[in-house]
Amino acid sequence: MAEISAGPSGHGASVVWWRDERKRALLWQILVVAAIAAALWFIASNTIENLRTLGVPLGLDFLEFPAGFAISFSLIPTDLESSIGRLILAGILNTLLATAICIVLSTILGFLIGVLRLSHNYLVSRLATAYVEAIRNVPLLVQLLFWYVAIVKLFPNVRQSINLGDVVFLSNRGIYAPRPVPQDDFSMVLVAVAAGIAIALGVRYWAKRRQEATGKQFPIGVAAVCAILLFPGLVSFILGNPVEWELPALKGFNFQGGIVLQPELATLIIGLSIYTAAFIAEIVRGGILAISHGQTEAAYALGLRPSRTLRLVVVPQSLRIIVPPLTSQYLNIAKNTTLAGAIAYPDIFSIIGTSLNQTGRAVENIAIMMGFFLLVSLVISWFMNWYNRRIALVER
């Protein structure tokens, strides 16, 4: 024992160096760093060697090249002469468009189904359960392919399209709807909308102050609807409705005018929203169930009506439970839009794939795509974390 405690350094530190926890930690980390460095060097040198053999240069110059391929749907004007960079931008916008629409639709549908699943109505809750169990146990890709075939095959062709009151037309080329064309005085209506929102915010502030001071309540919801919807409507009516609706009309082999929701985008939106809604419904159900029954009973005992109990007591508390898993569902939506490649919707994944085939620049193309998705993930997580902090329980 004495020999061990009398170490070479003289004082109490007495263990052999490889038994010292701190030194071992350091050693392990040095080994890890060395292994990573070796792996990276191995990968990098092999990649450079392979690219040299293939004759493919590295660099982002290919983004300027003319693409030579067209895409079927784009928010920004593109044609065959557009550069690859521009097409990738179009693909990014297409992905973002589909993501945004699907997030909104699946949230609405998911909350609805989740609440219906908790309904005391036997038929309704069973129907909601059947929906959730049927949808979430079938792969999304199968569902998307199914919807695509269903829309393209089962919808009639353009000439026999389903006519909804001469306004909306459904056919296998997509859904055609009227397009609003703003006229001269339309800016006044926009000003009225902005003023309406400002008035609604002001009223809300005033009503809150008054309720805190006197306890009197004010119907804020009705006031807000009046200010935001009716006021601009009135302005628009006085100005003689400065919006004209451009109706789609059948000319030749296709519809002209109006806005069109193409079958690919329609499939993606329908399929992805229905799929994600099943998961969101389960999250919502779990969140509401997690609120103890005592909360509801206490609210009733205080004399709150059921609707107010739900709005003021149950929902704010369950949102805290719902939001974190909801965030990962939104991230899933963004990631799952890549399946659009299977139904020929030109999202970023399919455009990067085509670009990769055309230019052979694997490293750069894949880096752009992964960078884009990491950025989207970061932004959505950041936003939802911010929202989560806002609704979090303020504790001591």
Q: Does 384 bind other proteins (CB under 8 A)?
A: no
Number of H helices, E strands in the chain: 14, 8
| Positions in 149-168 near other proteins (CB under 8 A) | 149-150, 153-154
Shortest spacing between CB 210 and other proteins, in angstroms: 32
Q: Which of 374, 379, 391, 392 binds other proteins (CB under 8 A)?
A: 374
Of 36-44, 79-87, 191-199, 207-215, the window that binds other proteins (rule: CB under 8 A) is: 36-44
Number of residues that bind other proteins (CB under 8 A): 56
In sequence order, what E strands does the chain have? 162-164, 168-171, 174-177, 179-182, 243-246, 249-251, 254-256, 259-261
Q: Which are the contacts of 41, defined by CB distance < 8 A and separation ≥ 6?
A: none
Phi, psi of 180 (to 5 degrees): -75, 130
Pairwise CA distance, residues 317 & 281, whole Å: 17
Q: Smaller CB distance to other proteins: residue 22 or 216?
A: 22
Q: Which of 15, 142, 234, 243 binds other proteins (CB under 8 A)?
A: 142
Q: Does 238 bind other proteins (CB under 8 A)?
A: no
Assigned token pair, 386: 């911010």
Q: Does 145 bind other proteins (CB under 8 A)?
A: yes
Q: Does 58 bind other proteins (CB under 8 A)?
A: no
Taking the CA atoms of residue 128, residue 133, residue 136 and residue 138 in that order, the dihedral angle to the nearest 10 degrees is: -130
Q: Which of 173, 284, 349, 354 binds other proteins (CB under 8 A)?
A: 349
What is the radius of gyration, based on Cα positions, of the chain? 29
Assigned token pair, 316: 């704010």
Q: Does 60 bind other proteins (CB under 8 A)?
A: no
Q: Which are the contacts of 323, defined by CB distance < 8 A and separation ≥ 6?
A: 384, 387, 388, 391
Q: Does 243 bind other proteins (CB under 8 A)?
A: no
Q: Which are the contacts of 180, defined by CB distance < 8 A and separation ≥ 6?
A: 243, 244, 245, 246
Q: Does 53 bind other proteins (CB under 8 A)?
A: yes
Of 164-172, 187-195, 365-373, 388-396, the window that binds other proteins (rule: CB under 8 A) is: 365-373
Shortest spacing between CB 127 and other proteins, in angstroms: 5
Interacting residues toward other proteins by CB under 8 A:
25, 28-29, 32-33, 36, 42-43, 46-47, 49-51, 53, 119-124, 127, 133-134, 136-143, 145-146, 149-150, 153-154, 331, 335-336, 338-339, 341-342, 349, 353, 356, 362-363, 366, 369-370, 373-374, 377-378
